[in-house]
Structure 1
Amino acid sequence: MSILDQNIDYDRPVKLAEGIFWVGFADLEGRLQCNPYLVVDGDEAILIDGGSRPDFSTVMRKVLQTGISPKQISHLIYQHYDPDLCGSIPNLESLIDSTDLKIISHAENNPFIQHYSVQSPLLCIDRMERKLTTRSGRTLRFFHTPYAHSAGSFITYDETSGILFTSDLFGSSGAFSNWRLFADFDHKCLACEVAWPDRPDEPCEDTGTPCPWSGMHYFHRKVMPGNRQLRHAMNVINSIGATMVAPQHGSILYRAEDIKAAIIRLQSMNDIGIDGIADAASVPE
């Protein structure tokens, strides 16, 4: 059965695979869509990119709807340090209220994350051999994607499900009223070689719907620092062979052909960040 065949209720957690849930806030009113994820393994739970302070009540309600209690959350993973990921850390620490709670990120991120966290130890993925193994043996592996978009950015791969949590990578913006959790690219989109529209919400002449590549292009052009950093990150991701890509913004890619097409598109972008500024070549080295 296709993942799209399930009756999705955005007011409840959405199961992506065994023990993996989307616990985000479906915002169709114009903000940037954010997607926290929960990994549940037995009596242990791990929250990935837990979300902003305004979204905390929604995220925590959905966490509880999966059947776990706050004290079962053993780790909070933050793949970079933006407030849309980290803003709810004080709320989470207060509700979980456990001296065993740990925050996992990268040493480059932790000096910023410490301005949110007031009590939990901040761990670095490099000192964990870039992996986290639960008490029952489930393993999450971390892959460094430097400067995509922060110096300490990384992505998280769940070996059991094959899901890759990519934070800002593969993110998209625009066309909020048309947002859906699972991307459903028209076959014409996969083969399209037409330059993307300047506006993410501009309908495609062939499909009549907003161009998915346009929203992805717009987001990466604004968020990522340059072409080289994005291409390096895509090379890292391509080597992993994930069966599903779950970004922190936009929609989840669950088909192999969509993931492949998105990697190719992102690798081909040549106007990302500073490289998109017309006079960038005149900037002193």
Structure 2
Amino acid sequence: MDMVSLNIDYDRPVKIAENIYWVGFADSEGRLQCNPYLIIDGDEAMLIDGGSRPDFSTVMRKVLQTGISLSQIRYLVYQHYDPDLCGSIPNLESIINTSDLKIISHAENNPFIRHYAPKSPLLCIDKLGGNISLRSGRVIRFFRTPYAHSAGSFITYDQNTGVLFTSDLFGSAGAFNYWKLFATLDNACSSCIISPPSHPDEPCSETEEPCPWTGMHSFHRRIMPGNKQLHHAMGVIETIGARIIAPQHGSILYRPEDISAAIDRLKNMDDIGIDGILPPKRAFK
């Protein structure tokens, strides 16, 4: 499917793969778009990185617009513990209001998630064996990406559709008028070797469009702790072979060439986090 040809209504849930929907808030006032996702599988549903408290009403309206009942939501997945993911936990629990609702994260995240006052059981992906099987047999897999950006960070892979939910990885930030849910990279961007503009909203000299790599570079440089953590995460992602990259911020990547180019870009960034502040380490003689 050619996703960019779709006439997207951002006021409704947006289908990104079979029975998977973006249910986020297209924030025209902000520079950081947040992307919660909903997986529907028969009589079960899983909400991934459910969103902040201010976004709750919009997210829940879009969840209901998919046609599911709230009792179908059995799992809330939180790939790290930031408030833009976890802030709406009490709201979600209150409105879902079922005894079998479970929160899935990692043991390193759970002590922080407890500060959102959850009532549901907090499960650890390690204790689950790194995956969960839904009633239909559909397998959702979890991969650790430690310190990218928190100690308990992980990513979530739906084997049925090939969608990889990458949390902050592949994220970007920029002015709303340049944001699109599905990345539409110019072919020149994949093999670009020119120095990118210094600001995410500054147009590229070649395409006259905002440079996608500038926004991604700027975001990772500020969010990730260092080069090693980011490069390790890219190594994990390369082994998965995802068909769609669905980050929690920025735009979805769905063309193989764009996914490959983005991985290569992130693997070669050498000024991430503390590595962009401290001078190169001198070798001892």
TM-score (norm 1): 0.97
- Indicate conservation of the 8 Å contact 1:274/1:280, yes or no: no
Name the CA distance, whole Å, in 1 between partners of 2:229 and 2:195: 22
Alpha-carbon distance, 1:71 to partner: 1.5
Name the CA distance, whole Å, in 2 between partners of 1:87 and 1:25: 14
Matched, 1:262 2:280: no
- Indicate conservation of the 8 Å contact 2:196/2:204, yes or no: no
- Corresponding residue of 2:135: 135
Matched, 1:4 2:4: yes
* Matched ranges for 1:90-105 at <5 A: 90-105=90-105
Alpha-carbon distance, 1:265 to partner: 0.2
Name the CA distance, whole Å, in 2 between partners of 1:264 and 1:28: 30
- Corresponding residue of 2:251: 251
2:116 partner SS: coil
* Matched ranges for 1:177-216 at <5 A: 177-216=177-216
- Which 5+ residue runs of structure 2 have no aligned equivalent? none
Alpha-carbon distance, 1:142 to partner: 0.2
Matched, 1:45 2:45: yes
RMSD: 1.1
Name the CA distance, whole Å, in 2 between partners of 1:281 and 1:35: 37
* Matched ranges for 1:74-223 at <5 A: 74-223=74-223
Alpha-carbon distance, 1:195 to partner: 2.1
- Which 5+ residue runs of structure 1 have no aligned equivalent? none
Alpha-carbon distance, 1:179 to partner: 0.4
Amino acid at match of 1:115: H
Name the CA distance, whole Å, in 1 between partners of 2:163 and 2:173: 22
Name the CA distance, whole Å, in 1 between partners of 2:249 and 2:49: 11
Amino acid at match of 1:146: P
- Indicate conservation of the 8 Å contact 1:175/1:210, yes or no: no
| Post-superposition CA distance 1:68-105 (Å, at most 9, x none) | 11111000000000000000000000001111100000
User: Larger deviation: 53-62 or 188-197?
Assistant: 188-197
| Post-superposition CA distance 1:187-208 (Å, at most 9, x none) | 1111111122221111101111
| Post-superposition CA distance 1:144-186 (Å, at most 9, x none) | 0000000000000000000000000000011321100000000
User: Larger deviation: 175-184 or 47-56?
Assistant: 175-184
- Indicate conservation of the 8 Å contact 2:174/2:200, yes or no: yes
- Corresponding residue of 2:23: 23
| Post-superposition CA distance 1:217-256 (Å, at most 9, x none) | 0000000000000000000000100000000000000000
1:188 partner SS: helix
- Corresponding residue of 2:56: 56
1:127 partner SS: coil
Change (3 A) 1:121 1:188: same
Amino acid at match of 1:227: N
| Post-superposition CA distance 1:109-154 (Å, at most 9, x none) | 0000011133100000000011011111111100000000000000
